[in-house]
Amino acid sequence: MSNITNKSTSRREFLKNTGRIAATTALAAGIVPRVYAGESNTIKVVLVGCGGRGTGAADNALSVKNGPMKLVAMGDVFENRLKSSYNNLKNMHANKVDVPEDRRFVGFDAYKKAMDCLSPGDVAIFATPPAFRWVHFTYAIRKGLNVFMEKPVTVDGPTTRRMFELAKEATAKNLKVGVGLMSRHSRALEQLAKRIQDGEIGDIILQRGYRMHGPIGFFSSPPKPPGISDLLYQVQRFHSFIWASGGNFSDFYIHIIDHLCWMKDAWPVKAQALGGRHYRKSPEGVTYVDQNFDTYSVEYTYPDGSKFIMDGRCILGCKDIYNSFAHGSKGIAIVSKSGDCGMPSSTYKGQNPERSNMIWQSKVKPEESNPYQNEWNDLMDAIRNDKPYNEVERGARTSLVTSLGRMAAHTGQETTYDQILNSDHEMAPGLDKFTMDSPAPLQPDADGRYPVPQPGIVKDREY
């Protein structure tokens, strides 16, 4: 393990040495399936969590051009998702996917089996529901692995505190860790952040973020069907359950929250919010049993007293708005023109973003226009050239600030950053011990309905 922190050791020597040690140990113990044994500078990758986002992250990883990479193992709790992901990745990257059946793992311990196929210095991708992030990251650190983890990385105060400590451990071991908040790797937003912080639009006094559209993903869920446990149902439809994902608020709105905090170069200290459940039946009349609100409106307050309003809505037939703005004392910035980080970003004199008032508009090289690919290019550059790189502390802070707004809406109380950080409500303790037969963290009532937030009634936790 000393080679991990020895910066005088080249990447090629490091991979050669650690690969030899790991292979010898594995053969002696007889516990690791066959792994790729190609060039000494090939970085091996595993995918833990094989849904759409995980498949996309693996595609980005295998599309990096600064050195050879191989996907060598995959893990999920759903075999059908793993199979679909494997087929898609094999079709896209035939020569870079070497995952025979004995390295396709199913179950809550699949993450261990997949990572056991790697050598120190290789890369693990975590794209399961975020509740499991600390469990998988703990094991990766123990194995000396670099990591890419999807957002959010936490859903409550106790796991955020845990992730802060794990971030320190990863840095101490010189591990490189990326977090899937791809807005931070948008070259347009990088340009805009510098201009704002250099004073181009003056002091930021107000920010507005919007993500309003119809239901997507697993935003809403009907009663659990027969043939699947409550635990697997909740993992499968993770957007519907706060313990698993932070609900749709955390999963859908975190990118805009993250990049507006970046533009402000500050973190909110408190939030007040409102929201409600309006249409909780399908067009066929099936009652939804998930925990989400249909609408949210959060007012965050920064240390200097300035405000940030985040509005979210998942209702069909309403006006779709999906962008973000920063208002300064001298002008306004369109941060994201469309989506989580849609180009171009631009700045304007005054508060009307009309073309005649434009000061600047972002320009990005075509090869750097995809922030999802940029974040992988940046991570792999750090790994191959041994640059400091650990986004976990910021990712955990962004996740907590997002949860802060969600908690304020769900409780109906003004909530501070310190209150949620120091909360004792860990929504799903013991996740590192889960098996396929474990009870779910959330139990339904006799009608198959799960607990929902009750603002003003349940004030100290979300349900």
* Sequential DSSP letters for 101-126: GGGEEESTTHHHHHHTTS-TT-EEEE
The confidence band for 40, taking pLDDT boundaries of 50, 70 and 90, is low
Per-residue confidence (pLDDT) for residue 30, from 0 to 100? 37
Contact 229, 388 (CB under 8 A): no
Question: pLDDT, tens digit, for every residue of 64-90?
Answer: 999 999 999 999 999 999 999 999 999
β pairing state of 43-48 and 307-314: unpaired
The confidence band for 283, taking pLDDT boundaries of 50, 70 and 90, is confident
Give the CA distances from residue 90 to residues 69, 70, 177, 225, 289, in Å, rounded to whole numbers and listed in that order. 14, 11, 25, 32, 37
The confidence band for 285, taking pLDDT boundaries of 50, 70 and 90, is confident
Burial code of 442-454, b = ≥16 C-beta within 10 A, e = fewer? bebeeeeebebbe
Q: Which long-range contacts (CB under 8 A, 24 or more apart) does 429-435 make?
A: 431/131, 431/132, 431/134, 431/135, 432/135, 432/138, 434/108, 434/231, 435/107, 435/108, 435/109
Quote the CA–CA distance of 153 and 227 in Å, as a whole number.
30
pLDDT exceeds 70 at position 181: yes
Per-residue confidence (pLDDT) for residue 446, from 0 to 100? 87
| Token code pair at residue 360 | 């600047």
pLDDT exceeds 90 at position 34: no
Domains of the chain: residue spans and CATH = 2-182+375-389 (3.40.50.720), 184-367+399-433 (3.30.360.10)
Quote the CA–CA distance of 398 and 390 in Å, as a whole number.
14
What's the pTM?
Answer: 0.91
pLDDT exceeds 70 at position 2: no
Question: pLDDT, tens digit, for every residue of 372-409?
Answer: 999 999 999 999 999 999 999 999 999 999 999 999 99
Determine the distance from the C-alpha atom of residue 223 to the mean position of all C-alpha atoms in its chain, rounded to a whole number.
Answer: 27
Average pLDDT, the chain: 92
